Amino acid sequence: MTTELPQGGGFGDPAFLPNTQQGIRRRNLSLVLQAITAHGPLSRAAVATRIGLTRAAVSTLVDELIRAELLVELGPERPGTVGRPGSALTVGERGPVGIGAEIGVDHLAVCAVDLHGKVRARATLESDNRGRPPEPVLKELARLVREVTGASRAAGLRPAGLAVAVPGLVARDSHTVVRAPNLGWSELDLGPFLLDGLPLSVDNEANLGALAELWIGGDPAPQDFVHVSAEIGIGAAVVVGGRLLRGTHGFAGELGHVPVRPEGPACPCGGRGCLEQYAGEEAVLRAAGIPYGEQGIGLLAARAEDGDAQARRALRGAGSALGIALSGAVNLLDPQTVILGGALSRLAPWLLPSLERELARRTADPARPKGGTVTVSRLGSEGPLLGAAHSVVQAVLDDPASVAGAVR
Amino acid sequence: MTTELPQGGGFGDPAFLPNTQQGIRRRNLSLVLQAITAHGPLSRAAVATRIGLTRAAVSTLVDELIRAELLVELGPERPGTVGRPGSALTVGERGPVGIGAEIGVDHLAVCAVDLHGKVRARATLESDNRGRPPEPVLKELARLVREVTGASRAAGLRPAGLAVAVPGLVARDSHTVVRAPNLGWSELDLGPFLLDGLPLSVDNEANLGALAELWIGGDPAPQDFVHVSAEIGIGAAVVVGGRLLRGTHGFAGELGHVPVRPEGPACPCGGRGCLEQYAGEEAVLRAAGIPYGEQGIGLLAARAEDGDAQARRALRGAGSALGIALSGAVNLLDPQTVILGGALSRLAPWLLPSLERELARRTADPARPKGGTVTVSRLGSEGPLLGAAHSVVQAVLDDPASVAGAVR
DNA sequence: CCTATTTCGTCATGCCGATTGACAAATTAG
DNA sequence: CTAATTTGTCAATCGGCATGACGAAATAGG
């Protein structure tokens, strides 16, 4: 029998540490490192007051993190106030990096992100992966990963883990893709292809895209939001208190099947009038008079930009439907913001007016300050890839001892 | 400047403890106590393996908790296996109690709950509080509180705090009722009336009702659920990972204004076709041919029980609308269960069939095991009162040191 | 019945790690 | 230039968990 508390799995879900001496030490290392990554260069004294420890205690923790190359000393701060200026600490340029990978329907991408959140290396490969057998795709991806890890190591960086974003459902705490309809994959264990020494985690791309918003989406990054993307169907990811809500069975975020008009057209899911029937890729393209296919969304964006009335009408309709569905979510969750990500960020200019109108009038509670604001992701289609890499970085921040390893 | 981490407010939200030696001690005391309250009588060894500490460490923690009268030793366990049997520990009968109070539109109630979750004392007063000025109501409530605390002390119990459930909106981390439409109160600070030595917290009754389900609702209690109640409007409380989701502005759970039919009847909130227009008290009573008034719900339940066709039809319709709105929530959140609480639990027999039908067909994802199950609260209208008392108990469990105080 | 085995609770000891208090260093205020 | 303030570090201390051994209390097996 082991502990009863929530056992973290995958990256980004901090593992449970018992309150033993070593556990405390590890947590304190994490607190110091997180304080410094989150709030720019800080002195030891500033860290100490922030996390509630004494300066002396922080000093020893910082020493350990410096030895592990996770922190570097920048030297004396600009003295602004009375007293001896502190010595600024920041995360190292030569420490660990997280490797993120993305398997898209028409591309493969890999990147390395350091503790600063900066992309330090990347590799991309255009290739139509729809219906292709998994083996060659994964071999190509493995090659890209080796390329990026090689470049990272050459730059003095240490890859700390690999996270893969997949357009499909992934079994919790496993490397197995349960089903990825757009790729035509199912029940596929990625471990054999990608496990070469690096810790591996696999997750859904919508989840990772949302986590990217949480970690690098804004300044300050929102902690409670609904992130809507439309890569496969219409997915939403709900982040509450800085934590991704995955749902009891891992199916949270099925915004596409929220009812918009209860007696609307039948949906393959068994319901009627689901959001996907109004704002799904297929429905919108049909309304815009564009054949359903590979380049549909790009074509739609181009036509809307050109002022094509039919395309714009289609997007207005989709925006209204999204607004209706999201007003339910906003009423229920009262999030800080709603973020349009993925392909939706490109279409946002034409979706937003009708979306915001519906949302505003349906969430105008007498006591509510104002209807939740809608923002457009700055990350766009980069979200899942960056989120994957950052999930590895986050795992390092959550437990620096695991990567500092046997450093003295 | 103090710490940056989430600072708990009110009961039930564990305060942040820094990772100092004392902080560890306090957390470990809490872990020991929580393990024992949650999982029946346990031996020291069982607790140790559960929380990941050594038996020796647990021994000292248990000693401290016994000195504080929070734990008692029951003596040797029934030996079932080889080895010396452990000494069973359980929470004391003579320790602290949480005092819960409820201000309803037609009654006042106060109770005392011990660490076992048992009600040890209670006092109730029927009185129509609609539109009554707050002062006399609160004076009566204060009298009931004194009655219950007095009875508790006489029984050797120590009241550890007072939590008040109010049918309205409460400002976060304050004692101030922002507005309680059914009572006709607004901007009222309860502190002056109820602060007599006991720590006070005030919260919305729907929130406390949901927390009651979390703490004493079932065996095992669900950790992720949507709790629907219909005391003022139609409120829902979302519990995720054992934590109540309050929303950025504290307005989470406004299920009543989730759109059911986007072009339906106008709602005072500014939207159209909100759930309240179909399943709100006023709408249902009108559909059932019952005048809107004090005893409306009771009358409705009675008629439905008698087989009144119009009443049953009204409830069927409300059930469908609830099912549609909830299917949105279930698709988005993938909760373990949906709980019908408060007044809805009385009406459940006639709401459930249509509700479950809508819910099942709209959440039948190919990959989803089954549509979320709907359960009816066992607590019924007792939920908020019990939840209030339990929120105090929970605060004790979260930081026993705070109440153990200067014990040796 | 008696012994070996297993598990429990406790004790003395040790060690890890945070706290305490003091100090030199580096800055601003006056 | 002095006083005041803040920083980082050091030595000493102390709190608190780990370790290992012990007696106690049960079962298993001959």
Query: In this structure, is the CB of residue B53 within 7 Å of any atom belonging to strand C?
Result: no
| Interface probe with B: pick from A58, A251, A398, most Cβ of B within 10 Å | A251
Query: In this structure, is the CB of residue A107 within 7 Å of any atom belonging to strand C?
Result: no
Find the mean pLDDT for residues B367-394.
Answer: 86
Whether residue A287 has pLDDT greater than 50: yes
Domains of chain A: 21-91 (1.10.10.10), 95-209+384-405 (3.30.420.40), 219-377 (3.30.420.40)
Find the mean pLDDT for residues A141-167.
Answer: 96
- Cα A223 from Cα A382, distance rounded (Å): 20
Chain A residue with the nearest C-alpha to that of B22: A53
pLDDT of residue B270: 86
What mean pLDDT value characterizes chain A?
Answer: 89
Which positions in chain A touch B53 (Cβ < 8 Å)?
A: 18-20
pLDDT of residue B184: 92
- Cα B408 from Cα B405, distance rounded (Å): 9
| Interface probe with B: pick from A58, A224, A334, most Cβ of B within 10 Å | A334
Which positions in chain B touch A1 (Cβ < 8 Å)?
A: 49-50
Cβ separation B6–A241 shorter than 8 A: yes
3-class state of residue B267 by DSSP? coil
Amino acid at A404: A
CA closest to D5 C1', residue: A83
Cβ separation A331–B254 shorter than 8 A: yes
Say which residue, B118 or B342, is predicted with more confidence: B118
Query: In this structure, is the CB of residue B84 within 7 Å of any atom belonging to strand C?
Result: yes
Whether residue A297 has pLDDT greater than 60: yes
DSSP B158: E
pLDDT of residue A16: 74
Q: Which two tokens stand for residue B174?
A: 């304050």
Q: Which two tokens stand for residue A119?
A: 């992309």
How many other CB atoms sit within 10 Å of the CB of residue B408? Answer: 7
Nearest to B404 by CA among B155, B33, B11: B33
Residues 6+ apart with CB under 8 A from A134: A183, A185, A188
- Cα B172 from Cα B250, distance rounded (Å): 7
Which among B254, B333, B358 has CB closest to A245?
B333
Q: How confident is the model at residue A86 (pLDDT cuts 50, 70, 90)?
A: very high
Nearest to A228 by CA among A339, A374, A325, A317: A339
Query: In this structure, is the CB of residue B74 within 7 Å of any atom belonging to strand C?
Result: no
Chain A residue with the nearest C-alpha to that of B51: A3
For chains A and B, count residue pairs whose Cβ atoms are closer than 8 Å.
197
Amino acid at A7: Q
Q: How confident is the model at residue B4 (pLDDT cuts 50, 70, 90)?
A: very low
Among A24-28, A86-90, A132-136, A340-344, the range scoring the smallest mean pLDDT is: A340-344
Q: Which two tokens stand for residue B408?
A: 């040796």
Location of structure tokens 């996390």 = A51
Nearest to A341 by CA among A258, A245, A252, A234: A234
Nucleotide nearest to B19 (CA to C1'): C18
Cβ separation B332–A28 shorter than 8 A: no
Cβ separation A19–B28 shorter than 8 A: yes
| Phi, psi (rounded to 5 degrees) for B392 | -70, -45
How many other CB atoms sit within 10 Å of the CB of residue A158? Answer: 15
| Interface probe with B: pick from A30, A248, A354, A373, most Cβ of B within 10 Å | A248
Cβ separation A262–B363 shorter than 8 A: no
Chain A residue with the nearest C-alpha to that of B50: A3
B86 CA vs D30 C1’ separation (Å): 28
Which positions in chain B touch A272 (Cβ < 8 Å)?
A: 362
Find the mean pLDDT for residues B212-219.
Answer: 88
DSSP B247: -
**Min distance B200 CA to chain A CA atoms (Å):** 25
B87 CA vs C5 C1’ separation (Å): 20
Q: How confident is the model at residue B291 (pLDDT cuts 50, 70, 90)?
A: confident
Whether residue A288 has pLDDT greater than 90: no
Find the mean pLDDT for residues A301-327.
Answer: 93
pLDDT digits over B156-211, tens only?
A: 999 999 999 999 989 988 999 998 988 999 999 999 999 888 999 999 999 999 99
Q: Which two tokens stand for residue B22?
A: 């004392």
